[in-house]
Amino acid sequence: MATSDAVNEPAGKGKLKLIILIVVAVLLAIGLSVGATWYFMHSPKTEPVAEANANVKLPAIYEPLTPAFVVNYNANGRQRYLQVSLTLQARDPADLKALMVHMPVIRNNLVMLFSGQTFDDLATPVGQEILRQKTTASVQEVAQKELGKVVIDQVLFTNFVLQ
């Protein structure tokens, strides 16, 4: 029986070592989990907060351009007119105020843009939308050149009369 006891003893020691190894591995995993949780809960959140602020869209603000633009056309031997009222849509009041300093350049560019259109093109909804998009691009171009950013989201036609 001494031989059978000797055989059983190493098997018991092997089971004990396996149990100890499993307990140590579980404790190590728990320790790493607690440590990682603590680290992420107490680390500074500078990047995600800045990223979240960058994704927050400020409310729209609107600035009407007065007076309305009036342009005359000669279409088929008849004198025709366009009167268009514009409103700028922006998000940052300070940027919009800075852009307003350059209003003489903006108005000049828009008068030139409107004068270069044909009456027949402006008589269609597609022609009007194309002009609105060109108007937006013109104002954004001045803003980009003078302020280094586009400033406005779009230009809206708040009144559009062809005669």
76-123: pLDDT as tens digits:
889 999 999 999 999 999 999 999 999 999 999 999 999 999 999 999
- How many Å apart are CA 149 and CA 140, to the nearest integer? 8
Please classify residue 87 by burial: count the beta carbons closer than 10 Å to its beta carbon, then call 0-12 exposed, 13-18 middle and 19+ buried: middle
- How many Å apart are CA 108 and CA 87, to the nearest integer? 16
How high is the pLDDT of residue 23?
86
Give the pLDDT mean for 38-66.
71
How high is the pLDDT of residue 73?
92
Kindly report the average pLDDT of the chain as a whole number. 86
The residue ranking higher by pLDDT, 51 or 9, is 9
Q: Other CB atoms closer than 10 Å to residue 95's CB: what's the count? A: 17
Please classify residue 28 by burial: count the beta carbons closer than 10 Å to its beta carbon, then call 0-12 exposed, 13-18 middle and 19+ buried: exposed
Question: Taking Cα atoms as reference points, which of 65, 62, 149 lies closest to residue 103?
Answer: 65
- How many Å apart are CA 138 and CA 158, to the nearest integer? 17
And the tokens for 58? 């400020």
Going from N- to C-terminal start, the domains of the chain cover 2-54, 61-162
**In the chain, where does DSSP find H-type helix?**
2-42, 46-55, 93-100, 103-115, 119-122, 125-147
* Contact (Cβ atoms closer than 8 angstroms) between residue 62 and residue 126: no
- How many Å apart are CA 154 and CA 76, to the nearest integer? 33
